[in-house]
Amino acid sequence: MRPKWDEASIDQAYKTQIDRLQDLLDQAMTLGLWPLAQKWGVLDRYYRLAQMLEEELLLQWKIKNEQGMDGLLKHQARFLGQTLRNPKGLLAAWAKLRQAIISVSPRMQGSPWSAFLLDQVADYAWVKKLGLEPKILLAHWFTLHQLDPQELLIGLFNLVELGAQSRPELPDLAPQMEGPNLPLGQLKGLFEQPLDQAWARLEAFWGLCWGGALAHGAAFLFGQDTKGRWALQGEVPQKTCRFEDLFGLESQLARVQAEVERFLKGERPEHILLWGARGMGKSSTALALLDAYSGRGLRLVEMAQRDIAHLNQLFPLIAGRPERYVLFLDDFGLIPGQGDFKALKSVFEGSLQQLPSNLMLLATSNKQSLVKEERLDLNLPENRQAEDELRALGDRFGIKIHFDRPVFSELKDLFDFIAKRQGQTPTVEAWAQFQRFAQTNGHDKPSARTVEQFLARS
């Protein structure tokens, strides 16, 4: 038996949804967003879906007022059986929008729709390009957030159920996973706050990061993408590290941190060379910067040495942005006359495209001299000049920090520290087994890496 419905409540339900959609579409048109949205797949599809919903709700409301409940129920039956599933109908429009949202939204907690909106409003360059007052745009984004497209469709389907018809079930948007160390995560919950508080948080975020792709991570690889363009590509480091995970490097870490602190305050940095024994924490020190400073706008960019000749392609991607970038050159070394040597020399010595002020170089090497030096007869003036040129490039790294191999008396403390960090008990027997492992496998000068290799086998 069909239930009896309160027609006044039905009218109010239609009116509430229609008014919300009309207000949304009027805002979009007044701000000039609707015509602009045709260039953005997600928003264009969203506004079109909202318009289709508004038209259907208005039609159903009109039929009810003119033909009564019987006329409405007949229309709803046709709507469910034919109109809804039309190739150009609401479900088709929803499917296109759903696919667009899933394909572009960053990995964050919350709904994919919220993630998409947060990503858009956080993109400073995109917001400024619109030419709108940012706070007014943020207010419109609050309206968009409240009118989740999936919830709008469910609202219509709830009204269709007035006639005890079985409504279609919508496929959920893909669940979102928490991204590791996501800078954009600083804006989580933005739309759940009052507008003024949200605006203050957004301005503070822009002070550290201008959003866009560079807010989707803290570590990047610089190289060629699938179309051959030089680009920053988000990278999740396979290994993470904290400064407190590094043993016996207090003085080295203090010098690195002091220079990075200067850099984050906007001062011109000295480039840093970490040199010395293998496996003693040089690369780990670079990774520890992410844990310590990514929340303050630091980004780590790694590039292969073979690509140094294209270093100037990086500059326009980061110049002028508030983030501070550390270019990480791991296991670095140069040979005079080769392309990477000439490219780096050109950048340092005053080419038209000099290093941006928000870029610091951090290189690691087993040797203090980055440039392979040839044995030259320094009695010849041209050789003295050549030697000066080689040394000058290495001297551009104003801070050179030595990572020495531990002496035997320190090795036991290093072993205990790493074992405890990995949740193992550093027993006397384990220490003896490590010594046998190092001797058997030719590790005449064991390092932290040797300890980790042993513990991984235990």
- Taking only the tens place, the pLDDT of each residue in 402-437 is 988 766 667 777 777 777 777 787 777 777 777 777
Do 109 and 81 sit in the same domain of this protein? yes
| Residue 207: pLDDT over 60 | yes
Question: Does residue 328 register a pLDDT over 50?
Answer: yes
Give 412: exposed, middle or buried? Use CB within 10 Å, 0-12, 13-18, 19+.
middle
Given a cut of 50, whether residue 1 has pLDDT beyond it is no
Read off the pLDDT band of 2 (50, 70, 90): very low
| Euclidean distance between CA atoms 298 and 294, whole angstroms | 5
- Are both 167 and 56 inside the same structural domain? yes
Helix/strand/coil for 371:
strand
Distance in angstroms (rounded) separating the CA atoms of residues 123 and 167: 38
Residue 75 lies in a domain: yes
Contact 387, 378 (CB under 8 A): yes
**Residue 129 covered by a domain:** yes
Distance, in Å, from the CA atom of 111 to the CA atom of 119, rounded to the nearest integer, reads: 12
Average pLDDT over residues 388-412: 71
Let me know if residue 178 belongs to a domain: no
Tell whether 205 and 237 lie within a shared domain. no
pLDDT of residue 309: 80
Give Cα separations from 179 to 23, 102, 154, 231, 253 (angstroms).
34, 15, 29, 21, 28
In terms of DSSP H, where are the helices of 171-220?
A: 195-208
Residue 341 confidence (pLDDT): 59
The reply to whether 278 and 367 lie within a common domain is yes
pLDDT band, residue 342 (cuts 50/70/90): low
Q: What is the layout of strands, in order, in the sheet containing 272-276? A: 230-234, 219-224, 298-302, 324-329, 359-365, 272-276, 399-403
Q: Does 430 share its domain with 387?
A: no
Q: Is the pLDDT of residue 375 over 60?
A: no
Q: Which pair of tokens denotes residue 322?
A: 């508030």
Per DSSP bridges, beta strands 399-403 and 324-329 are unpaired
CB 171 within 8 A of CB 109: no
Contact 63, 78 (CB under 8 A): no
Q: What is the rounded average pLDDT of the residues 216-236?
A: 88
Assess if residue 180 is contained within a domain: no
Do 370 and 225 lie in one domain? The reply is yes
User: Whole domain around residue 227: which residue ranges?
Assistant: 217-403
pLDDT in tens, 137-187: 999 999 999 999 999 999 898 888 766 566 677 777 765 555 555 788 889
Residues 226 and 351 in one domain: yes
Q: Are residues 246 and 122 in the same domain?
A: no
- For 175-186, the DSSP string reads PPPPPTT-GGGG
- In a shared domain, residues 194 and 319: no
What is the token pair recorded at 283?
A: 């690369």
Total domains, the chain: 3
> Can you read off the two tokens belonging to residue 430?
């384990």
Predicted confidence at residue 174, as pLDDT, reads 63
Looking at the structure, tell me whether residues 380 and 239 fall in a common domain.
Answer: yes
